Amino acid sequence: MLPVRAAEPGWSLGYLWFQISQSVTGMNMKTEILFFIVFTLTITCCFRNDSPSPLKFTAYEHNPVLGPGKPGSWDDLIVFLPCVIRHNVTFYLFYSGMSKNGKTSIGLAISPDGYHFTRFGGNPVFIPDDKGFDAFSVAQALVLKGDSGWVMYYNSTETAEWGPGPFIGRATATDLTGPWKRIKTPVLTHGGMGEWDADFVIPSSIVKLHNGSWLMYYSGGAQFTILGDYFTGLAFSKDGITWQKYNDPATKEHPFAESDPVIKGEPGDWDGMVVWSGPVLKIPTGFEMYYLGGTRPIENPNIRQIGHIGYATSHDGIHWEKYPENPVFGVQKDPFVLSVPEGEATIECPSMVFQDSICFMYYDYGPTRFNIGMATAPVPLTHLHAH
């Protein structure tokens, strides 16, 4: 399910050296060795580029690809938080939907081409349990292929509240359309009082390693209703059910006493208040991540200004380096949100799926326009991917 992007093929230095050496005569052994060293360094710097770089996305001209449902339906108020799976040439778009009663459920839309979606007739495919940790809402589906069937991780709340909840649940199904069978207890919970993830934890990406273990990247914060200090954390699991948060033993005081984020913003940066993880993909040098980042405008701190997508890479999945030319995609590149008042537009929560030489990136428009949009990017032939 996770794309693996291959490195750029290097030049054949031996062949190039042979061609050049035939035209250079009169070199002694010492000069030849020195020339070869300089030549190798020059060619490597000029022609070899192993540094990962982000894909270049263009917004779909007919956005949005999915909007709120018909009046009176379960999702007539909000559709957001997309997660897209491509299986047997069909695109399955899981999304969170809400009606005026305030409860959030998970629905499904299906497409043969990734552009035109039709709602599944059996929606919603996953609803609150009316008891326990996911009694009031289920949202932010994260679906992946399991050892036998499909696995869904999701965010949940047990009481009526606005915004994401403090729990991550797990459900399984033999078919993407369900029925989905939940585990009765959460697999990951919020941090304790004073911790960076004390208020909410949201599943963002799952990476299954070759040794059978799992990595879960999740977004968290100490208080959702106050924009700021939303970070990305990491949890480890051997079976996909029991998870342990990453904790740096060097940090012993709140807000990082119990666990530590692996990527966060710095004051004054474009993503200084929000680093909300999106898809994490395996690459030959480690991992790459596309994430939501943002801050508030300095002129008007009361306006929400989250709305751009950044890119970061990591060798070990724990220590991340942000792309120096971030953000790589934002509201200025999608005509659908250009009419939204400045400072209120947002593009958030990306989900990516690959089809041949095209990458489809789906996202929502946040609290100003509750729709789901899409952008595409060509995948270079030198960047192979496996589904």
What pLDDT is recorded for position 369?
Answer: 79
**Of 107, 327, 81, whose CA–CA distance to 202 is shortest?**
81
Are 244 and 147 found together in one domain?
yes
Strand 137-145 and strand 358-365: the pairing is unpaired
Model confidence band, residue 41 (pLDDT cutoffs 50, 70, 90): very low
Lowest mean pLDDT among 30-34, 104-108, 238-242, 287-291: 30-34
> Distance between CA atoms of 220 and 202, rounded to whole angstroms?
6
Closest CA to 197 of 181, 215, 217: 217
**In a shared domain, residues 121 and 37:** no
Query: Does residue 108 share a domain with residue 18?
Result: no
What pTM, to 2 d.p., does this model score?
0.85
43 shares its domain with 91: no
Residue whose C-alpha is closest to residue 104's, from 132, 127, 129: 127
Contact 50, 69 (CB under 8 A): no
- Domain span at residue 26 reads 13-47
Q: What percent of the chain has pLDDT over 90?
A: 68
| 383 lies in some domain | no
Query: Which tokens go with 303?
Result: 């306006």
Task: Report whether pLDDT(123) > 60.
Answer: yes
Q: Is 321 inside a domain boundary? A: yes
pLDDT at 218: 98
Q: How many helices (H) and strands (E) does the chain have?
A: 2, 22
248 - beta bridge partners? Answer: none
Question: By C-alpha distance, which of 80, 76, 137 is closest to 103?
Answer: 137
Q: In terms of domains, do 42 and 132 share one?
A: no
pLDDT value for 189: 98
> In this structure, is residue 363 part of a structural domain?
yes
138-184, pLDDT tens digit by residue?
Answer: 999 999 998 889 999 999 999 988 889 999 999 999 999 999 999 99
CATH number, domain of 96, equals: 2.115.10.20
Q: What is the mean pLDDT of the chain?
A: 85
Instruction: Name, in order, each residue with C-beta under 8 angstroms of 134's C-beta and a sequence gap of 6 or more.
Output: 128, 154, 156, 157, 158, 165, 167, 169, 182, 186
- The reply to whether 1 falls in a domain is no
pLDDT at residue number 31: 45
Query: Same structural domain for residues 19 and 109?
Result: no
Number of C-beta neighbours around residue 234 at 10 A: 25
Number of domains in the chain: 2
**What is the total residue count of the chain?**
387
If asked whether residues 96 and 241 sit together in one domain, one would say yes
Question: What does the pLDDT read at residue 267?
Answer: 87
- pLDDT grade, residue 68 (50/70/90)? very high
Taking the C-alpha atoms of residue 99 and residue 107, their distance in angstroms, rounded to an integer, is 12
Please indicate whether residue 97 or residue 7 has the higher confidence score (pLDDT).
Answer: 97
139 and 278 both lie in a single domain: yes
